[in-house]
Amino acid sequence: MRLFRPLILPLLASALLSVPVGAQAETGPSYVQPTPAVPPPIDHAFAGTIELDVDATDIRRRIFSVHQRIPVAAGAITLLYPRWEPASHGPSLTVTDLAGLTIEAEGRRLAWRRDPYEPHAFHLDVPPGTKAIDVRFQMVAGDALLTPDVVAVPWQRLTLYPAGWYARNIPVSARLTLPGGFRPFTALNVRDSEGPIVRFEPTSLEILLDAPVLAGRYTAQVPLTAPGPGAVSLDIVALRTGDLTVPEARIAEIKRLIVQMRAVFGATPFAQYHILARLSDDGSSGGTEHRTSSENGLASSHFRDWQAEILSRDLIAHEIVHAWNGFYRTPADLWAPTPNVPVAGSLLWVYEGQTEFWGRVLATRAGQFTPAELRDRLALEAAEIAARPGREWRPLSDDVNYPSFMLRQPVPWRDWQRRRDYYSEGVMLWLAVDAELRERSGGTRSIDDFAHSFFAGATPDAPSRTYTFADLCKALNQVAPGDWAGFLRSWLDGHAELDTTSGLVRHGWRLVFTDIPTAAFRANENEGGVVDLSYSIGLTARSDGTIRAVSWDSPSFEAGLRPGVRILAVNGTPYGRDVLLAAVRDAANHPVVLTVEQDGEQRETPIRYVGTLRYPRLDRIPGRPDTLAALLTAR
Ligand SMILES: [Zn+2]
């Protein structure tokens, strides 16, 4: 903005003089609360069926084209673009991705107005006599979704729907056009297909949004159970034919996994379940849960290079557990009738924490980990969660608010700020719950008994059963009576006094540190691309010497280091992983001095650390029964 002072100033001066003396001039404007203009969701029938037509063929420009025909009545209506995702538990969708929106009635263009307070809402007036509107738009953020060999179709980013109904009340008939030669996998029922066009059986918006399509040029489907009710298949989409062959041993393990799951959770909340596995040369990208399928981003070498996959071997287990723990049983404050109303995560330590726990346990019962490998995994997270100084100001009961404000936000001081600790801390917590159940029942009951009762009654058609903290305590009390609210609250609200390794200790194992890293620890370093000295001098560094993390209150922290600073030399020798390791190994005899580049200058930084390398592992506690072994034994 450019100001012309000679003109503006006299104008301003006269304006100031002309302000009448009154309340506003002295105290400022009064706030007027905006009236909500988006109709709230109501549980009532929707007249008609939305036709949804998605064109996923533009893999060059990576743009989806959408055409919807939405039944309407005359008058004011509001269309919503989903904002909240069940899997992220937060407002992770952005309407920035939607472009080119046009709305027509019988070929006549209708004007729409975006809601200024809820940008995912579009208001319009439907003229009298109109039975349906045609809605067209593009979804332009298809980079990871539309590729030459793989197409992923996230319906929640490709759909507008009328406000005022529960998603389960809105019937949708979807049609998808794929690039030629692609084979689709999905939990949706296919009505028919004609060349690249797939038509799905009409379903509810709720089910559609929870049933993505994964399609590709190189595909394989491996049945994991007998066909029929509760059948599970592994649906693989790869970048090349050679990656589609899964060794028999891996298939046998996943088959055992399904058997072990049923032994714990009982009847399935799905008629059929599809493990959608997308193999990528970029490594594992994590998973997304749904009730009747899951999206699993795995390394192209996942099934071949099993040794290297120690951190993602239980991903598939984790995501299937969610069919029960997350979809069939849902925390009351996480359940939402549409993807446009907020949810809260007070029970994410159950939704994610217990799922992570069962993923570890069931994968081991199925043989995907040896008990020793699993213990190394547990040592990794036991050490990480024990070293969380941030618990001093943020207990677990606040960490669960992560999705509402921290999604995709960088966190430079992870152990102090805390970020999504409810996964790993949840594993420690549920180990403690199992130990507590065993102790209170004199060794006759365990967490398996809790799961039998808490997840009982699942059927493919059973709606989600929501639960509260009180319901959870009641269910635990039925397995082994006691003050479960007090027990759990001490974990959830505990600060520095909380011993997060207590569950492991009661299972007969303690966290110790030695100077040799476990295979799991090395895998974790590789995945992060760092050398990890969190438990000695208190930093992790990339191969070029850039510090990725500094542990709060550690010797490196005391030396004034922070993430982003670059280590140039160690004790006068140019930086290298082995140079740094050798220096820390010998730190008891020879002080470590780092030459760093920080704030535009080089400086010598002595690290006040007397000791050697320290890596976590679990050690048996003599005389205590090994109930961890009992927990990990196949049922
Ligand atoms: Zn999860």
CB 328 within 8 A of CB 321: no
CA of 87 to the centre of ligand 1 (A): 7
Distance CA 557, CA 550 (A): 6
CA of 312 to the centre of ligand 1 (A): 13
CB 263 within 8 A of CB 635: yes
CA of 193 to the centre of ligand 1 (A): 33
User: What is the reported pLDDT for 258?
Assistant: 98
CA of 469 to the centre of ligand 1 (A): 19
CB 133 within 8 A of CB 170: no
CA 581 and chain centroid, separation: 34
Q: What is the dihedral of CA 407, 167, 341, 153, to 10 degrees?
A: 20
CA of 351 to the centre of ligand 1 (A): 7
CA of 421 to the centre of ligand 1 (A): 13
CA of 243 to the centre of ligand 1 (A): 26
Q: Where are the alpha helices (DSSP H) in 348-468?
A: 348-351, 353-365, 371-386, 396-399, 402-405, 414-417, 424-440, 447-454
Distance CA 345, CA 426 (A): 13
Distance CA 505, CA 620 (A): 9
Amino acid at 478: Q
CA of 134 to the centre of ligand 1 (A): 37
CA of 323 to the centre of ligand 1 (A): 10
CB 610 within 8 A of CB 601: no
Distance CA 168, CA 208 (A): 10
Alpha-carbon dihedral sign for residues 476, 477, 482, 484: positive
Q: Which of 284, 267, 282 is nearest to 323 (CA)?
A: 267
CA of 289 to the centre of ligand 1 (A): 7
CA of 169 to the centre of ligand 1 (A): 27
Q: Which of 432, 615, 596 is nearest to 506 (CA)?
A: 432
Q: What are phi and psi of 417, to 5 degrees?
A: -75, -30
Distance CA 536, CA 64 (A): 50
26-to-13, 22, 149 alpha-carbon distances in Å? 17, 7, 65
CA of 354 to the centre of ligand 1 (A): 9
CA of 408 to the centre of ligand 1 (A): 16
CA of 286 to the centre of ligand 1 (A): 9
Both structure tokens of 480? 């082994």
CA of 94 to the centre of ligand 1 (A): 21
CA of 320 to the centre of ligand 1 (A): 9
351-to-234, 503, 539, 568 alpha-carbon distances in Å? 24, 19, 31, 44
CA of 352 to the centre of ligand 1 (A): 5
CB 374 within 8 A of CB 359: no
CA of 39 to the centre of ligand 1 (A): 31
CA of 313 to the centre of ligand 1 (A): 14
User: What is the reported pLDDT for 108?
Assistant: 96
User: What is the reported pLDDT for 98?
Assistant: 98
Q: Which residues pair with 471 in a beta bridge?
A: none
Alpha-carbon dihedral sign for residues 135, 136, 141, 145: positive
Q: Which of 558, 565, 611 is nearest to 588 (CA)?
A: 611
SS3 assignment, position 550: strand
What domains are defined for the chain?
Answer: 38-213 (2.60.40.3650), 329-508 (1.10.390.10), 536-613 (2.30.42.10)
CA of 224 to the centre of ligand 1 (A): 22
CA of 359 to the centre of ligand 1 (A): 9
CA of 321 to the centre of ligand 1 (A): 8
CA of 186 to the centre of ligand 1 (A): 19
CA of 367 to the centre of ligand 1 (A): 21
CA of 532 to the centre of ligand 1 (A): 26
CA of 288 to the centre of ligand 1 (A): 7
CA of 353 to the centre of ligand 1 (A): 8
CA of 219 to the centre of ligand 1 (A): 25
- Establish how many alpha carbons lie within 13 A of residue 369's alpha carbon, considering only the half-sphere containing its beta carbon: 28
Mean predicted lDDT score pLDDT of the chain: 95
CB burial of 380-413 (b: ≥16 within 10 Å; e: otherwise) equals bbbbbbbbbbbbeebbbbebbbbbeebeeeeeeb
CA of 319 to the centre of ligand 1 (A): 6
Distance CA 541, CA 562 (A): 11
CA of 347 to the centre of ligand 1 (A): 13
CA of 386 to the centre of ligand 1 (A): 22
CA of 261 to the centre of ligand 1 (A): 16
User: What is the reported pLDDT for 20?
Assistant: 52
CA of 594 to the centre of ligand 1 (A): 40
User: H-helix or E-strand containing 630?
Assistant: helix 627-632
Amino acid at 50: I
User: What is the reported pLDDT for 4?
Assistant: 44
What residues of the chain score a pLDDT lower than 50? 1-17, 19
CA of 458 to the centre of ligand 1 (A): 19
Instruction: Judge residue 75's burial from the number of C-beta atoms within 10 Å of its C-beta, 0-12 exposed, 13-18 middle, 19 or more buried.
Output: exposed
CA of 287 to the centre of ligand 1 (A): 7
CA of 360 to the centre of ligand 1 (A): 12
Residue 601, C-beta contacts closer than 8 angstroms, at least 6 positions apart:
none
